[in-house]
Structure 1
Amino acid sequence: MTVLSPELKHRLSTPLKIGTVEVNSRVLQSPLSGVTDLVFRRLVRRYAPDSMMYTEMVHASEVCHVRGLPKIMEVDPNERPISIQLFDCRPDFLADAAQKAVQEGADTIDINMGCPVNKITKNGGGSSLLRQPEMAETIIRSVVAAVDVPVTVKTRIGWSDEEITILDFARRMQDAGAKMITIHARTRAQGYHGQAKWDWIRQVKEQLRIPVIANGDIFSVETAIQCLQETGADGVMCSRGTLGYPFLVGEIDYFLKTGEFKTLPSVIERLQCAKEHLQALWEYKGERGIYQSRKHLTWYAKGFPGAHELRDHLARIETVAQGWELLDDAINQLSQNSFVA
């Protein structure tokens, strides 16, 4: 496994400073649309109590000029530190939404400038702002002026291999007042395919004063350490690696703080966590939570005999009882076979 240099190891053992906010962890849970709701964040925070968590991305138009706030923006007063991520291409809407996010309890405001999904980019949001750096600057200046908490940016390295603009773009974000930038080391054209190009993160880190967080292909403690050593980044943000595995952020955080590996959860422990996740989604969202739980449950059900068949059944559950029965049957079968991987 790649070993951290002494200088980097020391830096990563200290708190992460995002403007005026100090976070006692260098590992962050990425905002994930349809995933990082209050239930999911609570599970991740159980194993990583010091880490910064992010809400799902919230469209500024869902917040502006309305009385109530969307449920995905809901924050538990006890979950700190917490960042609310916003997206749009209109500076005034984002500034207004940011003010309401701070009232909701956000410790920082994150602006999404990296989402590659067509329905977001065609309306000028997400990674399309990589092609509109002046507008991106205006957005950050407007939001910074509107709130008294740090404003951060999450973005990609460019629109395509022919348009990798992150070096100039990151400088612009820093100069506009962003207090941290997280870089998913893929282009918009890549989506989530191919390999993350971590070297671009290294180049950005070498030229910025603000913290630079690495994102992309962080699936284990080992890949996190490799990424940090290759990039010199100030921390890592976990995304797809936490799907069906809310333990990852805590595992990386523990290693950075102690130099030791945590004991990995067994398959049975993961399936027990899946049961808890299902129950919590039902209690929080009702019937809608059952439907949303299907994808989560299929993510948990991997890496053991019979997992494929179990996923097929979990993807069609209609009630908590159905899900629990399926998971309990799998747990009992694994216990009888002494399967512990």
Structure 2
Amino acid sequence: MNSNEKLSYRNKNILAPMVRIGRLPTRLLALQYGADIIYSEEIIDHRFIQCKRTINNALDTIDFTLDHDSRPMFRTCAVEKSKVVLQLGTANAERALKAAKLVEQDVAGIDVNMGCPKEYSTKGGMGAALLTNPENIKDILTTLVKGLSIPVTCKIRVLPELKDTIKLVQMIESTGVVALAVHGRRKEERPRHTVRVDEIRAITEAVSIPVIANGGSEDCIQSYSDIEKFRSATGASSVMIARSAQLNCSVFRKEGLLPMEQVIKDYLKIAVRYDNHYINCKFCILEMMKEKQETPVGQAVRSALSLEQICAAWNMTEYLQSSRLKRGLPTGSDVINDEPALKKFKNDDIITMDFVLKRCDYRMKNGKSPKTILLEWCRGKEEKEPVYETVCRDSDRRFNSVLTCGGKMYRSTYWERNKRLAEQAAAVVCLRNIGVDDGRVKNDLTNGNDPSTDT
């Protein structure tokens, strides 16, 4: 790739890096609707360097997969090669370069996450933790710029003092990065806090490289026309969109927003084409549906155990089968069988509920989790304490917990990503069945996972 072919970050509309959301189907959907650049979700460097790069001839993709995992950590294809930027989570220059070199020929750019405030990023000195370690920032970015043939960028949040932010971004510019994305909030601030438009503008005036303004979804960007307004208000070269695109990716369409139902069907066509895992499809679709999750279609998606069942909920079974036939893939049921993991239980004896634990709905009411609430209820009634038996499903390494309380067994039909969440979900099922407040923060009964966070 010569310098004339390198990705330009000026005057672009960009899909932000978002955990779980920013996988191949959403990225390609954003491109289809008009996005100029698309970012992957954050990929942690020390895990990525353990991946093997393989060419998937059946799907026409390039997959980066760990030995013990059937699902790729990162999947890409020729359609997005000139537009996709892989975001790295890193705290080490040497390791970051090793990870970036692995994917250098398959993406258009590398971005370093220096803005995500979540614990999964900040632990180990990554994400927003880097903002207080400018020497490490300089080392990482300089190493990547010198060692790669593709553009390097980074994404930050603003610091408590504007003068410190200006000093930081000028140092970042000196490393040779080609652009800088700025989320206009501080590390401790969340979407409900007003985006700091004036501080983004001050940053654009302090550096000569393109500044990508981010953080406007909650306050400013509800449709395509709002993108230009946010660009003008911040003085930025480009605009990066997270939550508004997560809710309705057609925000990138010049022609205007499409109905949620059409966006989901467009998403599913891409997900089917590239055999995206049903759990990720389910998460992305439920995020789009929001308050409509309690409709019959929403309930069908929530309880789905395969991509086949999700497609059936949207009357797309014929499309799924036709797509699989074209690629020579099996067209039969792909429902994951729970029996091997749950075979020691008599399933007829278990009280089940189609419940997906949404962590943001359980922010410890009075400092208590559902498990704690149930334990205290049992003690108050002088009942035996709850017993949790948690199993791991070999096919996808998901967890489900069967709770015994008062001589009855309870479980959620949804398999969680770790043992702790599985036990909390089982406790909620029990509490709702015995008529005890489970500590839910929100009044509605909308299910789904924790909203993705742009990094």
Shared fold per TM-score greater than 0.5: yes
SS at match of 2:249: coil
2:118 corresponding residue in structure 1: 117
The answer (yes or no) to whether the contact 2:153–2:179 under 8 Å persists in 1 is yes
Partner Cα distance (1:223, 1:245) in 2? 14
Question: How far apart are 1:166 and its partner, in Å?
Answer: 2.1
Instruction: Show CA shifts across 1:237-273 (max 9, x none).
Output: 1111111412112x3xx3xxxxxxx1432x3xx3133
User: CA separation of 1:25/1:210 partners in 2, compared to 1, >3 Å: closer, same or farther?
Assistant: closer
Question: How far apart are 1:302 and its partner, in Å?
Answer: 5.4
> Is 1:264 aligned to residue 264 of structure 2?
no
1:176 corresponding residue in structure 2: 175
Q: How does 1:60-99 map to 2 (within 5 A)?
A: 60-64=45-49, 66-68=51-53, 69-70=64-65, 71-79=72-80, 80-99=82-101
Partner Cα distance (1:231, 1:163) in 2? 15
> Is 1:100 aligned to residue 114 of structure 2?
no
1:275 corresponding residue in structure 2: 265
Partner Cα distance (1:73, 1:177) in 2? 26
User: CA separation of 1:19/1:111 partners in 2, compared to 1, >3 Å: closer, same or farther?
Assistant: farther
Give 2:257's aligned amino acid. Answer: L
The answer (yes or no) to whether the contact 1:167–1:204 under 8 Å persists in 2 is yes
User: CA separation of 1:163/1:208 partners in 2, compared to 1, >3 Å: closer, same or farther?
Assistant: closer
TM-score, length of structure 2 as denominator length: 0.59
Partner Cα distance (1:65, 1:326) in 2? 37
Question: How far apart are 1:281 and its partner, in Å?
Answer: 3.2
SS at match of 2:111: strand
SS at match of 1:31: coil
1:10 corresponding residue in structure 2: none
Partner Cα distance (2:300, 2:204) in 1? 46
> Is 1:45 aligned to residue 31 of structure 2?
yes
Question: How far apart are 1:125 and its partner, in Å?
Answer: 0.2
Question: How far apart are 1:38 and its partner, in Å?
Answer: 1.1
User: CA separation of 1:224/1:273 partners in 2, compared to 1, >3 Å: closer, same or farther?
Assistant: closer
SS at match of 1:296: helix
1:205 corresponding residue in structure 2: 204
Partner Cα distance (1:120, 1:32) in 2? 12
SS at match of 2:180: strand
Partner Cα distance (1:231, 1:19) in 2? 28
Picking from 21, 43, 57, the partner of 1:58 is 43
Gaps of 5+ in 1: 1-16, 255-261, 330-341
User: CA separation of 1:240/1:30 partners in 2, compared to 1, >3 Å: closer, same or farther?
Assistant: same
Partner Cα distance (1:210, 1:19) in 2? 18
Give 1:299's aligned amino acid. Answer: E
Question: How far apart are 1:315 and its partner, in Å?
Answer: 2.3
Give 1:205's aligned amino acid. Answer: T
Q: How does 1:1-341 map to 2 (within 5 A)?
A: 20-22=6-8, 26-48=12-34, 51-64=36-49, 66-68=51-53, 69-70=64-65, 71-79=72-80, 80-103=82-105, 105-158=106-159, 161=160, 165-218=164-217, 219=221, 220-249=223-252, 251=253, 254=254, 262-265=255-258, 267=259, 270-278=260-268, 280-281=270-271, 284-285=274-275, 289-301=277-289, 308-310=294-296, 311-328=298-315
User: CA separation of 1:63/1:169 partners in 2, compared to 1, >3 Å: closer, same or farther?
Assistant: same
Give 2:137's aligned amino acid. Answer: A
The answer (yes or no) to whether the contact 1:215–1:237 under 8 Å persists in 2 is yes
The answer (yes or no) to whether the contact 2:224–2:256 under 8 Å persists in 1 is no
Of Structure 1 and Structure 2, the greater helix share is in: 1
Question: How far apart are 1:328 and its partner, in Å?
Answer: 4.9
The answer (yes or no) to whether the contact 1:54–1:85 under 8 Å persists in 2 is yes
Partner Cα distance (1:101, 1:207) in 2? 32
Question: How far apart are 1:85 and its partner, in Å?
Answer: 1.0
User: CA separation of 1:239/1:166 partners in 2, compared to 1, >3 Å: closer, same or farther?
Assistant: same
Partner Cα distance (1:75, 1:321) in 2? 22
Instruction: Show CA shifts across 1:58-81 (max 9, x none).
Output: 111123255443424322122122
Partner Cα distance (2:146, 2:176) in 1? 9
User: CA separation of 1:309/1:150 partners in 2, compared to 1, >3 Å: closer, same or farther?
Assistant: same
Partner Cα distance (1:233, 1:130) in 2? 21
Give 1:277's aligned amino acid. Answer: Y
User: CA separation of 1:23/1:204 partners in 2, compared to 1, >3 Å: closer, same or farther?
Assistant: closer
User: CA separation of 1:263/1:120 partners in 2, compared to 1, >3 Å: closer, same or farther?
Assistant: closer
How many aligned positions are there? 292
User: CA separation of 1:18/1:315 partners in 2, compared to 1, >3 Å: closer, same or farther?
Assistant: farther
Alignment identity in percent?
A: 22
CA-atom RMSD in angstroms: 2.7
Indicate the structure (1 or 2) with the bigger Cα radius of gyration: 2
**Which one is further off, 185-194 or 320-329?**
320-329
Question: How far apart are 1:117 and its partner, in Å?
Answer: 0.8
TM-score, length of structure 1 as denominator length: 0.77
Instruction: Show CA shifts across 1:125-153 (max 9, x none).
Output: 00100010111011100111110111101
Give 2:249's aligned amino acid. Answer: P
